[in-house]
Amino acid sequence: MPEPRGPANPAAAPPDPTAVLALDVGEARIGLARGVLGSSFAFGRGTLPRSGRQGDDVAAVAAVAAAEGAGLILVGLPLRARGGDSAQTQRVRAFAAALQAAGLTVELLDERFTTALAERQLARSGLPRGKRREKGRVDEAAAIAILETYLARRAEAAGAVSSHRDTEPEEPGS
């Protein structure tokens, strides 16, 4: 009898290298969003409550990544406004390193101002104020903003590369 696939048995399917799970790592919660390379859209996946134990939090993220089929974990890096590290930056770097040590493919992305962007987007969303203020709503929206920024930058870089290829002279004899 074949093994069940999906969240009930996350190890059954290999991760999709184009699927990205973005994290907005906070003290109380981790905001989650999922997207696909080549797309410009990210979709919220809620939040994970922090347990207070890094190993448990890493295992929870790994389980979500497996359920989502994510081949890449994108971690928002909360740098200071001028680009330097803070105590939270160091905690997020340590968390990202623990994710890598658990065998996950991890990239960091400067997330400065994504929380403010997420709050503005929520304000314009039409959600009632009470819904906008629910715990985790901003964390999830920040993860979406982190991922959409990443996808847009990749698309821009790919466009620059393909434009460059289009303007390169042909080799003699072609």
In sequence order, the 6+-apart residues with CB closer than 8 A to the CB of 104 are: 61, 62, 65, 73
- Among 13-27, 45-59, 133-147, which stretch is predicted with the lowest mean pLDDT? 133-147
Q: Which residue has the tokens 């409550």?
A: 49
Mean pLDDT confidence for 99-106: 97
In this prediction, residue 118 carries a pLDDT of: 57
pLDDT at residue 132 above 50?
Answer: no
Fold of domain 32-153: Nucleotidyltransferase; domain 5 (3.30.420)
> What CA–CA distance (Å, rounded) separates 136 from 47?
6
In this prediction, residue 13 carries a pLDDT of: 67
- Among 31-35, 131-135, 138-142, which stretch is predicted with the lowest mean pLDDT? 131-135
Closest CA to 115 of 66, 64, 149, 151: 149
Determine contact, residues 127/120, Cβ cutoff 8 Å: no
Who wins on pLDDT, 172 or 136?
136
Which residues face 16 on adjacent strands? Answer: 70
- Among 95-99, 131-135, 167-171, which stretch is predicted with the lowest mean pLDDT? 167-171
In this prediction, residue 146 carries a pLDDT of: 94
End-to-end CA separation in angstroms for the chain: 55
> What CA–CA distance (Å, rounded) separates 54 from 31?
16
106-110 and 70-77 strand pairing: parallel
Who wins on pLDDT, 46 or 173?
46
- Among 28-37, 104-113, 132-141, which stretch is predicted with the lowest mean pLDDT? 132-141
In this prediction, residue 48 carries a pLDDT of: 97
Each residue's pLDDT tens digit, 91-102: 999 999 999 999
- Among 86-100, 106-120, 135-149, which stretch is predicted with the lowest mean pLDDT? 106-120
Closest CA to 72 of 161, 155, 151: 151
- Among 6-20, 73-87, 112-126, 133-147, which stretch is predicted with the lowest mean pLDDT? 112-126
Q: Model-level pTM?
A: 0.77
For 107, the enclosing helix (H) or strand (E) is strand 106-110
In sequence order, the 6+-apart residues with CB closer than 8 A to the CB of 155 are: 38, 40
